A = this chain, B = another copy of it.
């Protein structure tokens, strides 16, 4: 049995990055439901993120989205974060919300649009230089809606060219994280639809390019933990965008739809040495109908619980059962860890970190929710596209 103390130590050093945009309003194509108290500025998003870190102790960084989080002075923004115990994390580019991008960005048939898109990506690296962020996270909405609309292969050529230029701009301590997604907003082809495509591009780019696994971006039936294990084996797992889904890219709270899957993913992370390495554990979620800060607290806790269970797997017993072909025995070892209620353990961890054992209750008592509702009046709430 893995020593309890070691498990606790690992849990105390875990870091989950929360995304600035999850604090803002979001929705579906049918409706964005506005919530009271939602931030109006990047600074207010950081203020909320600081609460998540304050009550969980394991959410020390915040991902930015450009241009949604554009400010005049990124160094000042970084200081705003530091003053609240946070650091700025990955910079996420946006090449899907300008009218020019109707038919794509870096894969667009028109060189002028591609130029504009690449310039934006280069600008994101400039921002990383200013904020000290090490990760450029790229997700492209590029694709087509109809067969014949554009040339699948030519779009790959354009993509490769754009990525190469941006890769060349990266500093020594910076890396490029390339995300894939099966579909949406493109409904026929997507230019980076699966891990194989992202991997092939990253391989050609070099060691600073790695793949991001968004847990909601796969075809039905895809075994995500297999991809995680494979990318770790190849040294190409850059990080996660965590969320959960029952259908498509639903962007629900991580662990809400299939906690057993999340556990299996985290087990492969632990088994592949990814927990303490350079793998970035990021959330990418939309809290459409639920309160945002509590939902993010809960999401961070869900990642903790899955990690705790993964750390509790008796790997010696598992290996022994696997080597002898004991199917039920090996499965039982894994399920034993999953069936364990790790919430008492996590309460201990928090207390040892000087935190309240129950982050949800502590946040509720803190008055922050009431305070932001009262104070954040007027101005324009942040949301998708703002």
Contacts and interface: CB of A to CB of B under 8 A. Distances in A.
Interface-centre pick from A226, A318, A330 (highest chain B CB count, 10 A): A226
Nearest to A318: B148
A85 interface: no
Contacts of A323: 109
Given A147-B334, A185-B31, A330-B150, A156 B229 contact: yes
A289 B145 contact: yes
Contacts of A101: 31
Given A30-B384, A331-B256, A189 B223 contact: yes
Nearest to A313: B148
Given A152-B229, A230-B156, A248-B247, A256 B147 contact: yes
A104 B226 CA distance: 16
A158 to B, nearest CB: 12
Interface residues of A, number: 106
Contact of A340 (B145, B200, B294, B341): B341
A335 B148 contact: yes
Contact of A182 (B221, B227, B360): B221
A61 B360 CA distance: 46
B334 A148 contact: yes
A94 to B, nearest CB: 9
A149 B221 CA distance: 19
A333 interface: yes
Contacts of A298: 328, 332
For this chain, the copies found in one complex come to 4
Contact of A248 (B146, B197, B248): B248
A343 interface: yes
Interface in A85-111: 96-97, 99, 101-103, 109-110
Given A146-B252, A322-B149, A290 B328 contact: yes
Interface in A308-350: 318-319, 321-325, 327-328, 330-335, 338-341, 343
Nearest to A150: B322
Contact of A196 (B195, B261, B289): B195
Contact of A271 (B146, B153, B321): B153
A268 interface: yes
Nearest to A263: B147
A59 interface: no
A188 to B, nearest CB: 6
A368 interface: no
A222 B219 contact: yes
Contacts of A195: 194, 196
Nearest to A333: B148
A305 to B, nearest CB: 7
Nearest to A223: B189
A339 B111 CA distance: 33
Contacts of A328: 146, 290-291, 294-295, 298
A248 B183 contact: yes
Interface string A167-200: 0000000000000001111011110011111011
Contacts of A234: 200
B185 A30 contact: yes
A289 B30 contact: no
Contacts of A340: 341
A232 interface: yes
Contacts of A335: 147-148
Interface in A208-258: 218-223, 225-227, 229-230, 232-234, 245-248, 250, 252-253, 256-258
17 contacts: A28-B185, A31-B141, A102-B289, A103-B325, A103-B327, A109-B322, A147-B260, A147-B334, A148-B334, A152-B230, A153-B272, A156-B230, A183-B248, A184-B247, A187-B252, A259-B260, A295-B328
